[in-house]
Amino acid sequence: MTATDQTQSPVSEPKAHPASKDALSHAVLAAPVFLLYQIGLLISPGAANGVDPITRQLGYLAGLSWPVYLAVVVGLTVIYALALRSLAGRHKFQPSRFLLVLGEGLAYALLMGPAAHFILGSLHLLGEPANPLQAMGPIDRIIASAGAGFYEELIFRLAGLGGLMWLLGKRFKRWQAIIVALLVTSLVFSAMHYIGTYSEDFDLGSFSYRAVLGIFLGLMFVYRGFGTAVWAHFLYDVYVMLFVLD
C-alpha cells in the first residue's frame, strides 16, 4: 500500500455527539424562544418557569427594577441581532434555517401527543397532565410555554442529558449511555412537574405521559440538536395549553 493509498483509506474515529455538532447554530436557533420569554415576563411576571436559573439572577443584578431589567433584555436582543447579522454576513449561519427548524419543531410538536397516547394506551397507563396554568390568559400561556421550551430543554436535555451521556460514555458504549441517560433525565423531568409553585397532585398516568414526552424530546436533542428540541417543546406546550387543556 502506497503512502497515498494509506492517506485515503478510511480510519475509524469516534463519532461526535450529534447534538454537539453546530452548537453555535443551535444556540442562535433557540435564542428567539429565550428572548420571547424574557421580554414576555415584563407583561406576565407570573408566567416565570420553575427551573429558570437566569431570570431571578437578572432581577438581582438589576436591583429588582423593571426598567433596568428591560434595559438588560433589550441589550441582549440587540446583541443577538448584531451577532445574527454578523454570522449571516460571514456565511456561518443561514437565516433560512429558522424556517426549517420551525417546520421540524411544529411537526414533532403535533406528533408527540398522539405517539404518547398510543404508547401509553397500549400499556394501559394513559393519562394527560392537568393544567395548573388554567387561570392564565392566552398571552400568559404562550410566555409560560416559551419559558418551558427554553429552560427545561436547557436544564434537562442540554445539561442533564448531555452531561449524563458524557459521564456514562466514559464507561459504557454510546448506545447504552444514551438509553440510561434518556430514562433517568426523562423520569426526573416528569417528576419536577409535581414540585413547586404550579405543581399538581401526583398521578401515574400524567407522570408516565410526561416521561414519554421527555424521551421524545431527549431523542430530538441527541439526533436533531438543542434548537430543534427547544422549538418542539415550545410549540407543543403552546398547542396543548391553548387548544387541548383549556
Other CB atoms within 10 A of residue 211 CB:
20
- Exposure class string for 106-132: b at 16+ Cβ within 10 A, else e: bebbeebbeebeebbeeeebbbbbebe
For 184, the enclosing helix (H) or strand (E) is: helix 174-191
Residue type, 21: K
pLDDT one-digit tens code per residue, 64-112: 677 777 888 888 899 998 888 888 877 778 888 899 999 999 999 999 9
How do the residues of the chain divide into helix, strand and coil, expressed in percent and rounded to 5?
75, 0, 25
Exposed, middle or buried by CB within 10 Å (0-12, 13-18, 19+), for 240?
buried
The average pLDDT across 35-45 equals: 89
**Looking at the predicted structure, is the pLDDT value of residue 215 above 90?**
yes
HSE-up of residue 180 (Cα within 13 Å, Cβ side): 14
HSE-up of residue 85 (Cα within 13 Å, Cβ side): 6
Cell numbers describing residue 8: 485515503
The average pLDDT across 30-41 equals: 92
Measured in residues, the chain has a length of: 246
